[in-house]
Structure 1
Amino acid sequence: MRSFALTVLAVASSALAQINVPGQVPLNPVEPLQHRLAYAGATGMTVSWNTYEQISEPTVYYGTNSWNLTSFATGTSVTYASSLTWSNHVKITGLTPDTLYYYIVSHTNCYNCSELAPYTFTTSRETGDYTPFTVAVAVDLGVMGATGLSDTSAGAITVNDSTTIQSLARYVEGFDFLWHPGDIAYADYWLKEQIHKYLPWVSVDQGYKVYNMLLNTFYDEMQPITALKPYMVGPGNHEANCDNAGTTDSATNISYTVDICIEGQRNFTGFRNHFRMPSAESGGVENFWYSFDHGMVHFVQISTETDLGHGLVGPDEPFGVEGNFDSVGQDAGPFGTKNEQYNWLQQDLASVDRTKTPWIVVAGHRPFYAANPEGGVCLECITAFEPLFLQYNVDLVLAGHVHFYERNAPIRNGTADPNELNNPSSPWYILNGAAGHYDGLDPIEGSPDYSRYVQNSTYGWSKLTFHNCTHLTHDFVASGNGTVLDTATLYKNHTCAAPASNVTGTNSSAPSSDHSGSASLKASSVLFAVVLATVLMVAL
């Protein structure tokens, strides 16, 4: 009996000893790290994770009973030049909508994994399901802590505050999925942080290692969220290349351009390999533009970084030539043919059945309107997309890029809608680039007539609550302590296929501290503790 106890303790100790430290290479090169989920249609889910060695046949074992994971699906393992890891992607199809599943992936490091699943996911709600739900949105979110967010940055956090990643993890049971429309990890800040002496100096030819360290640290830190809830992403400018759009060392007067970026760190390569968004299901292109339905909402991700197309170039101009600077000043793209994104968006919006999905929400990285017009407003995006938003009655447009929080009125061609939030005929624009990264928050430079609330004093994320087919609440949640600093509710007189419940009493309050983690992770931890305690008692 004692021998058995020591054997189990050795297994447990080995598992604990190999717990991964964010950004560090694990002892076991095929240990699954950076689990992340993405919707793949109403009956599908893509499960992805990274390893430091290739897996011949990545496999996900899953089921609706944690003790019976007899179903499985296989996928592919991909990498790219200069990457230190392999991205493993497995799409599971034929699932039941709005259903909780348990899953584990190849080489999961746990005791008796065939009988105990440490992770869960819930499939998308059926189109036309009017049950209230909540979505978390974070834009411009970088590596936090010693290798990322500086404690001297504008809007600095204190030792008593949570970071945005910690805040999202704390409330992970309070939202259905996390939407991150661009600027993911800020790995391209590696040289800037070295110049500032925030990171130790390495030569430029070795910079790819620092770049990868920041990238993998971020994905490791996001694991408690992305292993449990779909992580829907879009492209931002900091995914494009490795050089932060150009960096100058004032001490040496040396400027570094995209020329320092080696193969694998140009043109969104890491972003394209790491994620698998539902473009195939929606007719979009890779992780750049796609759409998906979730209950009563049609969600649309667009790219404000490349492939803007319509109205921006003449018929004879070489739009979309690889290596040309596009209209937003990046040496990146294209990913579609001329006007492909515009044509896709028009068709996508036109195809929405508003009796089933009365709400349409669009997200793109760069803002259409902001109290900092010289520092980040995408005029090309207004030209390309705003007429479509107005034509197809888009309800809400989300963006970041400018690093503060700004709630605007519904806007039409630069003018606030006279109805404000009481059944406006224009899209409601919300800018929230305040999730947090190394540079901190931006100054507010202007007070446009359409601005209704703006702040740059604290980091935070957006909480969207869809109460019914006519009422939507947006909350700005302070990451540090979870308080709601700004809240507003939009009323739209949508035609509802099902009776709209009264908004009174719906889940529009601040996140509750009860949402402290995954039920499956809690169950796993409790079970492990019970087994370990029993073993120790037997051993004694």
Structure 2
Amino acid sequence: MQLADGVATTTLTLPPDTRALSMSFIGADGRTDDNGGEDYHSGALFPYIGPFLTPGSDGGLSTRVTVTWETDRRCKGVVLYGDDPEHLDRQAVGTRPDTIHHVELADLRPGATVHYRVTECGTGRRSEVHAFHTIADDATTLDVAVLADMQDKGTPQSRWGEIARHVAQAHGEVDLVLAPGDLAADDEPRFWWLFFDRARDLLASTPLVPAVGNHDTPGRQSNPDDSSFLRYFPVPRTPGAGGVYATRAGPLVVLTLNSEVPSELHPGGAQYRWVEQQLADTRGDRWVFAQWHVPPFNAGGRFARVQDDTRPVTALFDGRVDWVFTGHEHLYQRTLPLRAGRRAARYGRGDEDGVGYIVAPTAGDRIFDTLAPLTEPSRSLLGFPTVGNLRRVEGEHGYLVVHIDGPDIGIRSWGMGRTPGQPATVVDEIAYRREE
């Protein structure tokens, strides 16, 4: 490094397959300059992060969708979009200069295909043209992918990129991606970049509905600081409850909660009160899912001890919520239908029916196979895996796909083995018609 007139310069030779450069600087006094925790970076690809899609400011996906991306330069972001990929005749401009851009497309036609690209002011750099489709409010069919605990660390064992590419290629019918937490390996810019970079194709064409997990906040324990999560995801802000919002997509309503503040999920808490109001306002003919990170029913050996932290809010769900999706344990589990925490006759909304609770498999991070001791009551509530007296099961990486068609629903859990390159197979499946 050369120093002249108080300015230090150096030349870096980068590998030809470099995708991005992230930097921080250490001065002679030993102090680190990491740009206020956001690092200094430059992307060989444009944009540095994204673009990716989230619901509009109204929580819907019918006429509004938000496009997010990150650039090297601070400026107002611009989205060019239209019906014809060769003629993007409309544009939307960000409200203020920044490096992270959240630009809402607010004049879309329900059920239409939209082509778009993002640009960087002053440089002429443009992304490739991507496409997505809006979801009409009166749509009766919907396909949803559920992916959790990606936590890509940039190692050969991390499989998030492989799984994201597979979902994009093998399940092109998917309209929406739910992500119940732990998207990043840790709350650091390099790990957020890995999450977004590995899934560029999937997230540029399919709206993402994320929940905050413990690895998405500072440290690895529960932490109410969701500032990084909210920096990347322009989700609607619920007073007194960060990272908590409702999404409407055709026949489905998704309630996204924040298990990093578990006290709010107890009676009187901000999230508990919010759920009460949302369920009171939701039409009875819609399917209703809830998602958050830490499971309220969990037979896994790592975190069964904390399931009571998030369980109180489930008292509101009987007869009103269909399925709950969580993560955290890195071991796929599906409960039997539960009502008031006990086994019910079947899945559904009837007086004797119960809610289904699913712990999603890890979509790329370390797999855990150990179950809680035989004395753990949640073991008797499992519909999958069927474990008997076993303490270990053969877990694997994977994801879920949910298909809704009017009153019918089908849920498939896909496994992709334990090592890179293994094919996807269905490991669990449930289908039924909801009787009102």
Instruction: Specify if TM > 0.5.
Output: yes
Is the contact between residue 292 and residue 300 of structure 1 (CA under 8 Å) also seen in structure 2? yes
The aligned residue for residue 133 of structure 1 is 142
Q: CA deviation at 1:394?
A: 0.8
Distance 1:440 1:419, change over 3 A: closer
3-state SS of 1:165 partner = helix
Q: Larger relative contact order (C-alpha < 8 A, sep ≥ 6)?
A: 1
The aligned residue for residue 65 of structure 2 is 45
Identify which range, 482-491 or 221-230, moves more after superposition: 482-491
Q: CA deviation at 1:111?
A: 10
Query: Could you tell me how far apart the structure 2 residues matched to 1:46 and 1:307 are?
Result: 29
Q: CA deviation at 1:27?
A: 5.8
1:204-283 mapped onto 2 (5 Å cutoff): 211-241=188-218, 243-245=219-221, 267-277=225-235, 279=236
Distance 1:118 1:43, change over 3 A: same
3-state SS of 1:163 partner = helix
- Does 1:473 find its partner at 2:377? no
Is the contact between residue 345 and residue 354 of structure 2 (CA under 8 Å) also seen in structure 1? no
Distance 1:381 1:23, change over 3 A: farther
Is the contact between residue 291 and residue 301 of structure 1 (CA under 8 Å) also seen in structure 2? yes
- Does 1:380 find its partner at 2:322? no
Q: CA deviation at 1:29?
A: 9.4
Letter in 1 for 2:89: T
The aligned residue for residue 110 of structure 2 is 97
Distance 1:27 1:410, change over 3 A: closer
3-state SS of 1:291 partner = strand
Query: Could you tell me how far apart the structure 1 residues matched to 2:239 and 2:68 are?
Result: 20
Letter in 2 for 1:244: R
3-state SS of 1:168 partner = helix
1:351-366 mapped onto 2 (5 Å cutoff): 351-355=281-285, 357=286, 359-366=287-294
Query: Could you tell me how far apart the structure 2 residues matched to 1:146 and 1:217 are?
Result: 11
Alpha-carbon displacement from aligned partner over 1:318-339 (angstroms, at most 9, x marks no partner) = xxxxxxxxxxxxxxxxxxxx73
Aligned residues: percent identity? Answer: 21
Alpha-carbon displacement from aligned partner over 1:376-417 (angstroms, at most 9, x marks no partner) = 44313212x112112x52111111111100111111233111
Distance 1:311 1:39, change over 3 A: closer
Query: Could you tell me how far apart the structure 1 residues matched to 2:121 and 2:431 are?
Result: 43
List alignment gaps of at least 5 residues for structure 1. 1-16, 80-85, 150-156, 189-210, 247-257, 259-265, 313-337, 495-540
Q: CA deviation at 1:32?
A: 5.0
Q: CA deviation at 1:100?
A: 0.6
Alpha-carbon displacement from aligned partner over 1:407-462 (angstroms, at most 9, x marks no partner) = 1111123311123579652211111142231x332422246221011254310001
1:46-445 mapped onto 2 (5 Å cutoff): 46-55=66-75, 57-76=76-95, 86-107=99-120, 118-126=129-137, 128-130=138-140, 132-143=141-152, 145-146=154-155, 149=158, 163-188=162-187, 211-241=188-218, 243-245=219-221, 267-277=225-235, 279=236, 288-306=243-261, 308-309=263-264, 311=266, 339-355=269-285, 357=286, 359-372=287-300, 375-376=303-304, 377-383=306-312, 385-390=313-318, 392-419=319-346, 425-437=353-365, 439-445=366-372
Is the contact between residue 103 and residue 120 of structure 1 (CA under 8 Å) also seen in structure 2? yes
3-state SS of 1:270 partner = helix
Letter in 1 for 2:105: I
Q: TM-score, normalised by structure 1?
A: 0.64
Query: Could you tell me how far apart the structure 2 residues matched to 1:292 and 1:31 are?
Result: 27
3-state SS of 1:49 partner = strand
Query: Could you tell me how far apart the structure 1 residues matched to 2:261 and 2:197 are?
Result: 28
Distance 1:66 1:22, change over 3 A: same
Q: TM-score, normalised by structure 2?
A: 0.78
Identify which range, 371-380 or 40-49, moves more after superposition: 371-380
Distance 1:432 1:307, change over 3 A: closer
Query: Could you tell me how far apart the structure 1 residues matched to 2:112 and 2:242 are?
Result: 25
Of Structure 1 and Structure 2, the greater helix share is in 1
Query: Could you tell me how far apart the structure 2 residues matched to 1:456 and 1:291 are?
Result: 35
Of Structure 1 and Structure 2, the greater strand share is in 2
List alignment gaps of at least 5 residues for structure 2. 1-14, 23-40, 386-392, 417-421
1:457-496 mapped onto 2 (5 Å cutoff): 457-469=395-407, 471-479=408-416, 480-494=422-436
